Amino acid sequence: MFPPLPQYNLISQFKRSSNKKRKLASSRKRSSIQLSKELASDLAEASAKVNVVLETLEVQLDKQTMRRLKLGEKEYQQGKYTVARTEAEIEKVLSKS
């Protein structure tokens, strides 16, 4: 679904010009992780799937949106719709409203 992501080292490299910077670099090294390309790709794919579920829930929880969707489905089943295949046809249909 998504292209594989490159392997990342989540620590930036610091110049060791002062004691303070050395301590900062040292503390960050201990709290860093490396992710394989496969794991990073899996995480990105899982994140995308979670976003789809959240968007679906958001739509389903919005009463006004659900009413419009049900009305649209009902009108479609009754044949109360207009087909517009070109930009000019779309403009013509929208200008009638």
Q: Crossing angle, helix 37-61 and helix 63-77, to 10 degrees?
A: 80
| pLDDT tens-digit readout, 26-67 | 555 567 788 899 999 999 999 999 999 999 999 999 999 999
d(CA 31, CA 86): 56
pTM for the whole structure = 0.46
- Same domain? For 10 and 48 the reply is yes
- Average pLDDT, stretch 14-32? 57
Decide: 38 and 4 in contact? Cβ < 8 Å.
Answer: yes
- Confidence check: pLDDT of 15 > 50: no
| Helix ranges restricted to H, 1-97 | 19-30, 37-61, 63-77, 87-96
- Same domain? For 80 and 44 the reply is no
Domain span holding position 94? 63-97
